[in-house]
Amino acid sequence: MKTLPFLTMAAVAAMLSVPALADYPDKALTMIVPFPPGGASDTTARLIGPKLTEAVGQPVVVENRPGANGSIGAAQIAQAKPDGYSLLVASIGVYAINPVLYKGLKYDPRKNFDLLTVAVRTPNALVATPNLPVNTVADLIAHLKKNPEKVTFASSGTGSSDHLTAALFWQQTGTTGLHVPYKGGGPAITDLIGGHAEVSFQNLGAVTGHIKAGKLKLLAVTSDKRIPAFPDTPTMAEAGVPGVEVYSWQAVAAPAGLPKDVKAKLEAGLTGALAAPDVKGRFEEAGFEVVGTGSAKFAQFLDAELTRWKSVVETGNITPDQ
């Protein structure tokens, strides 16, 4: 019997010891959204999921795992096997605010995740329930000063961008409000529409449809310039409240340690999905701006965001029980 040459034997050994990444994926992928249905993270996952399915050739299933301002679902991804079958679609709160607000968090976004891409961003929209007797930011400030600690501000959870934007607004205007945290943007928006909460800084992309339908009143946006979909709506600075420029963003990550080929395939599939004209158009219609940074720029961006929000939390002396 002839023996195989050394190089051939080495190649065979390598083939036997390393998983065949060429077969990835050979089953469905799961996108974990750590919030209830109806919020910005959920919208993002469900818009890019079908295009990612086309790119990888396997179904992409969206699962909602809400709780603790997204930290429960995020921790689940941090502990998952890094094989490319489990993805996290989550918000600025999960990636950049929870880590500087909560002690004992069960994940570290820079250590436990392979960052794939920032997907979209949207400013927050200062919205009010239709029966609240205010129509402008000035009206709201006057109303808050007449009713300190009484007007309810709904948020998608303690430490979310909408919570911290409200805190910034109170600081800049010398007003107060009653923070009411929900387990995600969807439930908060539902209660705003129903009149069970009065005001909120919700992601514009999550409330655009409700504003256009007259279910919520739009008072201002937290962007640096006016939004084309609402050209008559002022920015916070134009409304007389500078220093409240905030963009909420949604991003995709996976458990740390992905094989390079798998990470590259996912990153390409995601950025391609975001660049697709039909997907981009639907995001823009919903009030989102497509970003699609890719992994390297995401890492740099996240470092800057962690620094920024740490400063906001410390300056405002914000705690998880607020």
For 68, the domain range is: 26-121+248-316
Q: Which of 180, 202, 221 is the last residue of a domain?
A: 221
Q: Is the pLDDT of residue 14 over 50?
A: no
- 143 in the same domain as 116: no
User: Of the candidates 155, 186, 221, which is a domain's last residue?
Assistant: 221
**Which residues is 249 bridged to in the sheet?**
121
Decide which of 206 and 236 is more confident: 236
CA 11/CA 320 separation, integer angstroms = 55
Q: What percent of the chain has pLDDT over 70?
A: 93
What secondary structure does DSSP assign to 207-227, as a single string? HHHHHHTTSSEEEEE-SSS--
Give all strands (DSSP E) within 129-236, no chain letters. Answer: 152-155, 178-181, 199-203, 217-221
Q: Is residue 129 part of a domain?
A: yes
DSSP structure string for 15-26: HHHS--GGG--S
Greater confidence (28 vs 17) lies with 28
Confidence label for 39 from pLDDT (cuts 50, 70 and 90): confident
**Does 273 have pLDDT greater than 80?**
yes
pLDDT, average across residues 211-221: 97
pLDDT at 151: 98
Query: Is 229 domain-assigned?
Result: no
On whether both 141 and 113 belong to a single domain, the answer is no
Q: For residue range 73-103, list pLDDT tens digits in order.
A: 999 999 999 999 999 999 999 999 999 998 8
Does 262 reside within a domain? yes
Cis before 50? omega within 30 = no
- In this model, does residue 320 exceed pLDDT 50? yes
Sequence-distant (6+) residues with CB within 8 A of 12 are 4
Quote the pLDDT of residue 322: 63
Q: Do residue 291 and residue 275 come from a single domain?
A: yes
Residue 265 has pLDDT above 50, yes or no: yes
**pLDDT at position 225:** 92
Instruction: Tell whether the model's pLDDT for residue 9 goes beyond 80.
Output: no
Confidence check: pLDDT of 4 > 70? no
Task: With both helix axes pointing from N to C terminus, report the angle between 161-173 and 295-316 in degrees, rounded to the nearest 10.
Answer: 40
Q: Which residue has the higher pLDDT, 204 or 112?
A: 112
Angle between helices 277-285 and 260-275 (to 10 degrees): 60
321 found inside a domain: no
pLDDT of residue 17: 40
Do 290 and 203 share a structural domain?
no
286 and 205 together in one domain: no
Domain count of the fold of the chain? 2
Does 11 have pLDDT greater than 60? no
pTM score of the predicted model? 0.78
Helix (H) or strand (E) holding 141: helix 137-146
6 belongs to a structural domain: no
Is the pLDDT score of 105 beyond 60?
yes
**Residues 171, 196 share a domain:** yes
Note whether residue 194 is domain-resident: yes
User: Can you give the CATH number for the domain in which 150 is found?
Assistant: 3.40.190.10
Mean pLDDT, the chain, as a whole number? 90
Q: What is the CATH number of the domain that holds 283?
A: 3.40.190.150
Spatial distance between the Cα atoms of 182 and 297, rounded to a whole number of angstroms: 31
Share of the chain above pLDDT 90, in %: 73
Strand partners, 203: 124
Residue 153 lies in a domain: yes
Asked if 276 and 136 sit in the same domain, the reply is no
- Are residues 33 and 59 located together in one domain of the fold? yes
Same domain, 60 and 202: no
173 shares its domain with 38:
no
Task: List phi, psi (to 5°) of 82.
Answer: -80, 65
Answer with the one of 160, 186, 221 that is the final residue of a domain. 221
For residues 170 and 205, state if they share a domain: yes
Q: Does residue 279 form part of some domain? A: yes
Task: State whether 115 and 137 are in the same domain.
Answer: no
Residue 6: predicted pLDDT: 41
